[in-house]
Amino acid sequence: MTDAQQFADSPSTGISPEPENPYVHDARPIALGPAEPGCAKRDPIIIADGVRRTFGALHAVDVDHVEIPRHKITALIGPNGAGKTTLFNLLTGFDTPNAGSWTFDGHGLSGVPPHRVARMGMVRTFQLTKVMGKLTVIENMRLGGKDQPGESLWKAMFPWLWKAREAELTTTADELLKKFKLHEKREDYAASLSGGQRKLLEMARALMAAPRLVMLDEPMAGVNPALTQSLLDHIKNLKATGTTVLFVEHDMHMVRHIADWVIVMAEGRVVAEGPPQAVMQDPAVIDAYLGAHHDVDLGTAEGAAKLEDALSEDEESVVGTEDAGELLTPNEPIDPIDPTDPTSSTDETQGKP
Ligand SMILES: Nc1ncnc2c1ncn2[C@@H]1O[C@H](COP(=O)(O)OP(=O)(O)OP(=O)(O)O)[C@@H](O)[C@H]1O
C-alpha cells in the first residue's frame, strides 16, 4: 500500500470506512505507454514542447517534450544545475525561453506574465521564500488572493468597492492560516517567522488563489524535521482535494513517499520518467544523478539513507545539503525549538556560516 493510499484509507471513526477519494484512489496508469522521457500522459495538465533556455553557451533547459499529469503529485529531480528551477521559471513566466511552447489546461502560456499565469490557476513557491517581511502574516496572505483590492488604484478610491472583497479574502486567509497552524502568528511580521514557517506561509498564500496546479520549488529545503510531516500532509491534502502538484526536491525520502510520478532532469534534458520506485532503480538516473554513488539502491529506505550519509560527506553532493531556505544571517538569534509545537521551528540550516 502506498503512503498516499494509507493516508486516504485511515477512517476517522474506526466504524465505517470513508468513501474512496477519487483523486487518491485513482489506480489508472499515469502514462499512456511505457514510462520513458517525454512519454504521453493519460490526462496531462501541462504539455511543453521544445522548451530551450541558454545562458551564453550553457544549455540550462533543453526539453523536447514533457507532460505533467493532472491530479497527481509529480517530483522533478536531478543534480544541481540540471535546469529544474529554470524550467519552473520558464513555465510560470518568470523567465523567457529562447524557443518552445507549452500549454496549461489547454491554454498556451508562452509570453504570459507571471501574475496572469497565477490568475489562470498555476501558482508557485520559490526555493528561497518570497514572503514580504515588512508585512504581517495576514497581509501577506491577502496579497495571494485573486482580485485583491490593492490591484486597482481606481477601486482604492471607493471603499465600498473593495471592503467586501477584502473581508472575503480575510476570511479565506484565516481559514488557511488555521489549517497551516500559523493563525497565532496572524499579526506578526513575516520577517519574524522561522524559515520553516515562511515556507508554510508561502504555501498557504499560494492557495489563496485556489490554484489548479501548485508548483513547489524545494519545499523541504531548510525546514526543521518538526515541520516536515506537516508539509508532507499539506501536499497530500492538496492532491486529495483535486489539486495537481509539481515539486522540485532533493529530499529522496519525500520523493519516494509522496510522488506518484518522477521526472528526472540532467544537463537541461529529461533523462527519465516513471513511478518513484522504478525511476530510482533506473541505471540512467543513478548514473546521471548520483554519479560516484551508484552502488546504492535508492528504491529502498536503507539505500536512500546510505546515499544521504555518503553525500553528506561529499562536497559535490546534491542531496540534503541545500542552503536554500536559509533565511537568517549568521549573527541572528536562533529560536529555541518547542518539541510540542509543530510550528515552532528553526531551520536546520539556520546559524550556518
Ligand atoms: N540567470 C542565470 N544566468 C546564468 N546562468 C544561469 C542563470 N540561471 C541559471 N543558470 C544556470 O543554469 C543551469 C541550471 O540552473 P538551475 O538553477 O535551473 O538548476 P537546478 O536544477 O534548479 O539546480 P539546483 O538543484 O541547484 O537548484 C545552472 O548551470 C545555472 O548555473
What is the DSSP secondary-structure string of 10-59?
--SSSSSPPPPPTTTS--S-SBSSS--TT--BSSEEEEEEEEEEEETTEE
For range 12-31, the mean pLDDT: 74
Minimum CA distance residue for ligand 1 atom 12: 60
The residue whose CB lies within 8 Å of the most ligand 1 atoms, and thus the one to mutate among 77, 84, 217, 251, is 84
* Count of C-beta atoms within a 10 Å radius of residue 139: 17
Enter the C-alpha cell of residue 326: 536559509
For range 296-306, the mean pLDDT: 62
Cβ atoms of residues 349 and 326 within 8 Å: yes
Spell out the residues 6+ positions from residue 93 whose beta carbon is closer than 8 angstroms to its own. Answer: 109, 111, 112, 113, 114, 116, 117
For range 225-241, the mean pLDDT: 87
Look-up: residue for cell 554519479?
291
Nearest ligand 1 atom to alpha carbon 324: 27
Kindly list the domain boundaries of the chain, sorted by start residue: 22-130+211-312, 132-192
Looking at residue 343, the DSSP 8-state letter turns out to be T
Minimum CA distance residue for ligand 1 atom 17: 85
Enter the C-alpha cell of residue 218: 524545494
Question: What sign does the CA torsion over 297, 302, 304, 306 have?
Answer: negative
For range 219-233, the mean pLDDT: 82
CATH class (in words) of the domain with range 22-130+211-312: alpha beta
For ligand 1, say whether the CB of 219 is within 6 Å of any of its atoms. no
Largest interatomic CA distance in the chain: 66
pLDDT of residue 329: 31
Lowest mean pLDDT among 17-26, 161-170, 229-238, 297-306: 297-306
For ligand 1, say whether the CB of 82 is within 6 Å of any of its atoms. yes
Query: Over the stretch 146-181, which tens digit does the pLDDT of each residue have?
Result: 666 555 566 666 666 667 777 888 999 999 999 888
Lowest mean pLDDT among 20-34, 215-229, 296-310: 296-310
For ligand 1, say whether the CB of 319 is within 6 Å of any of its atoms. no
Mean of all residue pLDDT scores within the chain: 78
pLDDT band for position 340 (50/70/90)? Answer: very low
* Count of C-beta atoms within a 10 Å radius of residue 116: 12
For range 335-351, the mean pLDDT: 39
Minimum CA distance residue for ligand 1 atom 3: 55
For ligand 1, say whether the CB of 55 is within 6 Å of any of its atoms. yes
Whole-number Å distance, alpha carbon 227 to ligand 1 midpoint, is 27
For ligand 1, say whether the CB of 81 is within 6 Å of any of its atoms. yes
Nearest ligand 1 atom to alpha carbon 268: 14
3-class secondary structure, 253 = helix
Measured between alpha carbons, how far is 181 from 247 in angstroms, rounded to an integer? 22
For ligand 1, say whether the CB of 346 is within 6 Å of any of its atoms. no
For ligand 1, say whether the CB of 325 is within 6 Å of any of its atoms. no
pLDDT band for position 301 (50/70/90)? Answer: low
Lowest mean pLDDT among 38-47, 84-93, 207-216, 305-314: 305-314
* Count of C-beta atoms within a 10 Å radius of residue 177: 21
Query: Over the stretch 74-118, which tens digit does the pLDDT of each residue have?
Result: 999 998 899 999 999 999 999 999 999 999 999 999 889 998 999
Cβ atoms of residues 240 and 21 within 8 Å: yes
Minimum CA distance residue for ligand 1 atom 1: 55
Please give the share of the chain, as a percent, with pLDDT higher than 90. 41
